[in-house]
Structure 1
Amino acid sequence: MLNSNEANATQPSSAAEENPTSSGQFAVHQSPPSMWPDFMTGQVDKPARVLLVDDDPHMRRVIAQELMADQRTLLVAQAASVREGRKAIKQHDFDVLLVDLNLGDGEGFELLEYLKTMRPEAEAIVISVMENDDQVLHAFELGATGYLVKNSWFGNYPQAVLQVVNGGASITPNLARRLLQRFDHSAPTAAAEPAPAAPAQASTDHETERLSQREKEVLRMVASGYTSAEIGNQLQISSLTVNTHIKNIYRKLQVRTRAQAVRFASLRGLF
């Protein structure tokens, strides 16, 4: 397993590591310049902790530099294989796993499954050179809440970490658009199909109560990677109300995670 000292060497100089100044409920960070609500995970005194697993040394350095340049995220350890990744998951306390799918001794999917057993409270973001829909959906089924494409100009690893650790999802805009297109295409197809027999329809309705228009709107925004706070700002409702909608979505779709809800809605054409 690799030591994170390599990443620590890339931390900003002390001149850039000024303490945040508080103004109301917001903390103002000087490096990078931003405003970050105090109630969200990822404060300077308690950053979101990340475990990185990737077999490409260059990619690890790039990601490490980004994570350590943002005071809201902290790289606690690195690994370069499935074997090292399993050991690191067991040994380290962390909030988010960043994992490549193609590792020298296996696939990152193995670590997603292991993560659910060892640290079910942790989030997972897949990083890959490919954006294959089947791989993406399988990663979501295994509990991932983010999927980023390496070397994409959309890529921002600290932002992705902060999104998922605060209850959101992180996917590239291209992927979000494809998922939404699947939703849009499935609805007309379902409408064009002959109606099933009454008993079967009743069974389906009993299993998956139809989502309200507001719940569909919230689910679309979840699929696009917005956090509860961001959804609340756009819809002009409180984060508490957003989370209530999300809980209702889980109950109606009989799922336990945001990724599962998006996947289920895509397959059933609930939009």
Structure 2
Amino acid sequence: MRKILIVDDHYIVRQGLKQILVSTFQQVVVDEAVNGEDALRRILKSDYDIILLEIVLPDIDGFELLAQLMKLNPRLRILILSMHCEEKYVLQSIKAGASGYLTKNGSPWELVMAIRTVLSDKKYFGVNVVESLFFNHQKAVPEKTPQELLTPRELEVLRMLASGKRLKKIADDMALSLSTVSTYRLRILRKLNLKNNAEIIRYSINCGLAE
């Protein structure tokens, strides 16, 4: 017999979750807690296989409750189920010991899959959560400088192009063939995602490379 505790202060949410759980799992008992104090009282009296926890509660901070629950029993399986999928909430939940994190706008199918995954002592993070973390990580990655993207030769050609020199003049100054300098120019355009010399000049000015 599985025992599941739903901790959420919204009656409609609790009833919706309960209906999904009862219709999906055989021999399951689903209890409800309306706030953190209620959850603590129930957990002290009963052993639950998994707890579905909303981190925004009316009487106690959800992360504080999560920490208290893990302190009472480090083996508790706690799946966060919340409207919030910001990176700070997810990371704080992981740090506090949560077994997984789902958003409430996910599908019933994903909820069931998450519960089964956590019950098998594995971690589960919802699709929306993973996408949010990945998007934030992508935004946080600093843009590489020209010095990191280009070789010393390409950087030298970039500076000359930015100063307005023609390819023939650059080839003469660097003692290179015109075709070699043209190849350097094409590499610069590709690496910096630029289209023409005008964009090279604008890019160089923005990066402080133009003389």
CA contact (8 A) 2:85 2:128 kept: no
Partner of 2:127: 173
**1:103/1:182 Cα in 2 relative to 1: closer, same or farther (>3 Å)?**
closer
> Within 2, Cα distance between the matches of 1:88 and 1:75?
13
**1:182/1:87 Cα in 2 relative to 1: closer, same or farther (>3 Å)?**
same
1:52 has 2:6 as partner: yes
> Within 2, Cα distance between the matches of 1:113 and 1:155?
28
What RMSD in Å do the two structures reach over aligned CA positions? 2.9
CA contact (8 A) 2:7 2:32 kept: yes
1:78 has 2:78 as partner: no
**1:72/1:177 Cα in 2 relative to 1: closer, same or farther (>3 Å)?**
farther
Aligned pair partner of 1:64 in 6, 18, 21? 18
> Within 2, Cα distance between the matches of 1:154 and 1:50?
16
Unpaired runs of at least 5, structure 2: 149-211
**1:143/1:162 Cα in 2 relative to 1: closer, same or farther (>3 Å)?**
same
Unpaired runs of at least 5, structure 1: 1-45, 195-271
> Within 2, Cα distance between the matches of 1:179 and 1:129?
15
Query: How many aligned positions are there?
Result: 148
> Within 1, Cα distance between the matches of 2:132 and 2:83?
17
| Residues 78-100 of structure 1 deviation map (CA, whole Å, 9 limit, x = unaligned) | 11011101111111111111111
| Residues 214-238 of structure 1 deviation map (CA, whole Å, 9 limit, x = unaligned) | xxxxxxxxxxxxxxxxxxxxxxxxx
Alignment of 1:69-218 (within 5 A): 69-72=23-26, 74-153=28-107, 156-180=110-134
- Aligned partner of residue 129 in structure 2, secondary structure: helix
Equivalent position amino acid for 2:56 in 1: N
Partner of 1:241: none
With the length of structure 1 as denominator, give the TM-score of the two structures.
0.48
> Within 2, Cα distance between the matches of 1:145 and 1:138?
12
User: Which structure shows the higher strand fraction?
Assistant: 1
Greater Rg over alpha carbons, structure: 2
> Within 1, Cα distance between the matches of 2:27 and 2:94?
23
**1:154/1:57 Cα in 2 relative to 1: closer, same or farther (>3 Å)?**
closer
User: Which structure shows the higher helix fraction?
Assistant: 2
